[in-house]
Amino acid sequence: MTQVKLISAWFGGALLLAGVVGILESGAADVFLEATRPDFQKISLAVAGIHNAGGPDWLGGRIEEVLKKDVQRSMVFDLVDLPSLGIQTPDVGNGTGVGSKAVFKQAAEKGVSVLVWGKAGLKEADKNADVNMEGFVYDSGSDEVVGGKRYAGSPSVVRQMAHRFADELVFRYTGEPGIARTKIAYVAEQGGARELFVMDYDGYDARQLTADGFLNLMPQWSPDRRFLIFTAYRNRNTQDIDMIELATGKRWTVISLGGLNITPALSPDGNFLAFASSHEGNSEVYRLDTRTKAIQRLTVNPSGDLSPSWSPNGRELVFVSDRGGGPQLFLMGSDGLNVRRLTFEGDYNAAPVWSPRGNWIAYVCRTHKEYKLCVISPDGQKRMQLTTGPGVDDSPSWSPDGRHLVFSSTADGKSHIYMIDADGKDIERLTFQGTHNSAPSWSPAS
Amino acid sequence: MNRTLCTCGVVLVMSMALIGMPGCSKKSVQSGGDSQSTQGMAKGGGADSSKSGVGSFPDTGVQSGGGGLRGLDKNPSEERVGSGTMLAKVDPSSSAERQMDEVRAEQAASAAAGLRDVLFGYDSWTISEDGRQALSRDAEWMKSNPSALVKVEGHCDERGTAAYNLVLGEKRAKAARNYLVELGVGANRLSVVSYGKERPSCNEHAESCYQQNRRGHLAVKTGK
């Protein structure tokens, strides 16, 4: 269904050799492109079991399963299956025993760079007692157990323990926080209305945030992850831009100018809100200074201008305009100057989102009457189509590490939310409930 | 052939109520349409914000990095794990019930009034001859029901992006509104709103269904 080479993990083989930390962001574009090189290699990692240490039978296996998927999605590691290499996975405890040395040696000889294992159990016999999890990491490069983690929490957060451990692994080997603890905000049908929800990045643990009984649309995260900003229809007749604080549920209106007020996007530093509004006639892109409340109109055009998305350094915006007929992507400075058209292929290009790495802009492109995902470099030189086949793809949103996109698609009939690698490979469906899930927005990394 | 995306239809919602245009309980909202400078809208939060149309803003910049990760440790101390981002429980508000009741009442009232829908072509906001005929009858109804307020809703089919369909829906709603004004309906009795592809009347992925969703839909508003 999807192919296409292009990006992927942006840092190259140097990481692997060093097996360590410290991928710097400056000049990210150049580094990123190395991932298109065929010699890019992930770090081979194997999970030698999360063993049960007193507790329900499912406990260790559940954590292990979540951890393995996180490791795969990180795209930093190549997950190796030990049994298929003929390596058994006994419980090696804390890795200091004689038996563990043999296992390490075996794994290292088979090319495993990082070996991970652990155990999990209940603190007490009571099934409501806290879960304890320990995880350990053996690094074949240094031939030692480089460290571990100990977690405690209620049985309802065992997935979070696995996510946290996975992020520690990514952090250890890349210096980045990982994405396993990120969230996805989205819109779901609820009794005929469309309400805001938030779920874990892997589609689990969905929670409802609003219950208006009408329309709440297109949520976007604040840079600090504490708020969502979105379009709300107050009393069905007036379209405003609202914010909601996730921890408290506190909600208020931030833009109520009249007319259409849509596609809000906070700048990476949180100091500006870009949005589209038709309160002066037709839809135009505006920029609000969130400290002074001054509003600056950035586009002046009798056509529709909308969907601003910030470059990671906050200096530019990509947006949609139908000033040439159909919708196309344009770039401009964050002051509205230096407008230039970015897309020329096809007669419908919309919903742009600038990658957190800066080097790609994902968007919806229409090809052969289908609405699919494309990416284009900000200089317009490189363009790739990521998805193919039937169904309307919409609302792409980047993972904070720039290695994945989440989007909605009607490819399976009803609208659901999917994750796709930024190179157009693996597609994973994230939602299975309900009749309509749309407008996903990936949270920043914590 | 520029058939595209959404197809917005237009819905006229007739408001039987006698209240003025936008206006909602909390924040007053200016009706869209006329030009007005937005420069100098710099106002603090609080009472002024409702006038300027801009509410209060928290600081949303990122305060800390690191994501709470402490790194691997040879003698790790215990870390307490919670559910990640803390999420408030949704208030079991009566808002949802009330809104849905009001939607049903609007639909029933508009059906009773016999208002006609307006159809739009794919990727077009031009009003067709059929559309003009429908709007002519609607205009007659409005003239004989002079207290009714009409909300012109733009709707789209599922094709195209949600965001761009909202803009298209507004173009179509405004085209219908403008035609009603041409027919002599007072502009102050008409408001527009776009629902893009978010409130389809039909959910199949078929041209026949897209056709229905492109079609405008008339609803009469009852309360408030």
CATH number at residue A104: 3.40.50.10070
In a domain, A101, yes or no: yes
Kindly state the percentage of chain A with pLDDT values over 70: 91
A72 & A198 share domain: no
CA distance A355 to A375: 10
Classify residue A34 by its DSSP letter: G
Domains and CATH numbers, chain B: 9-17+96-221 (3.30.1330.60)
User: What's the CATH number where A364 sits?
Assistant: 2.120.10.30
In a domain, A11, yes or no: no
Angle ∠(B57,A232,B41) on CA atoms, nearest 5: 40
pLDDT at site B51: 45
Q: How does pLDDT run across A19-31, given as a tens digit for each residue?
A: 333 333 333 333 3
The answer to whether the Cβ–Cβ distance between A294 and B39 falls below 8 Å is yes
The answer to whether the Cβ–Cβ distance between A181 and B44 falls below 8 Å is no
| Beta bridge pairs of residue A145 | A138
A161 & A188 share domain: no
| Beta bridge pairs of residue A280 | none
In a domain, A26, yes or no: no
Report the first-to-last Cα separation within chain A, whole angstroms. 32
Rounded to whole angstroms, the maximal C-alpha distance in chain B is 83
A273 & A293 share domain: yes
What is the domain count for chain A? 2
Q: Is B16's pLDDT higher than 50?
A: no
pLDDT at site A41: 81
Which of A279, A282, A307, A366 should one mutate to test binding to chain B, selecting the residue with the greatest count of B CBs within 10 A?
A279
For residue A320, the distance in angstroms to the closest alpha carbon of chain B comes to 8
A165 & A188 share domain: no
The answer to whether the Cβ–Cβ distance between A307 and B40 falls below 8 Å is no
A274 & A369 share domain: yes
The answer to whether the Cβ–Cβ distance between B4 and A347 falls below 8 Å is yes
The answer to whether the Cβ–Cβ distance between B79 and A150 falls below 8 Å is yes
> Closest to A224 (Cβ–Cβ): which among B33, B35, B61?
B61
A164 & A226 share domain: no
Q: Which residues contact B107 (CB under 8 A, 6 or more apart)?
A: B219
Task: Name every chain A residue with its beta carbon within 8 A of the beta carbon of B175.
Answer: none
CA A253 to chain centre: 27
SS (H, E, C) A331-385: EEECCCCCCEECCCCCCCEEEEEECCCCCCEEEEEEECCEEEEEEECCCCCCEEE
With a CB-CB cutoff of 8 Å, which residues 72-111 of chain A face chain B? none
CA distance B194 to B153: 5
The answer to whether the Cβ–Cβ distance between A152 and B78 falls below 8 Å is yes
Tell the residue number behind the tokens 């209305």, with chain if given. A193
Q: For the whole model, what pTM was predicted?
A: 0.86
Give the residue from chain A lying closest to B157, CA to CA.
A392
Cβ atoms B33, A259 nearer than 8 A: yes
Q: How does pLDDT run across B200-223, given as a tens digit for each residue?
A: 888 888 888 888 888 667 666 665
Burial class (CB in 10 A: 0-12, 13-18, 19+), B92: exposed
Burial class (CB in 10 A: 0-12, 13-18, 19+), B61: middle
Q: Is the dihedral of CA B15, B19, B23, B24 positive or negative?
A: negative
Q: How does pLDDT run across B58-89, given as a tens digit for each residue?
A: 999 876 555 688 899 999 999 999 876 677 77
Write out the two tokens for A46.
Answer: 């194997």
Cβ atoms A314, A269 nearer than 8 A: yes
A134 & A267 share domain: no
For residue B154, the distance in angstroms to the closest alpha carbon of chain A comes to 11
A353 & A432 share domain: yes
Count contacts between A and B (CB, < 8 Å): 331
Write out the two tokens for B176.
Answer: 């219908």
Q: Is A126's pLDDT higher than 60?
A: yes
A317-323: average pLDDT: 97
With a CB-CB cutoff of 8 Å, which residues 211-230 of chain A face chain B? 211-215, 217-218, 222-227
Q: What residue numbers bound the domain in which A97 lies?
A: 42-174
> Closest to A249 (Cβ–Cβ): which among B85, B88, B161?
B88
Q: Which amino acid is at B28?
A: S
Phi, psi (5° rounding) for residue A116? Answer: -125, 140
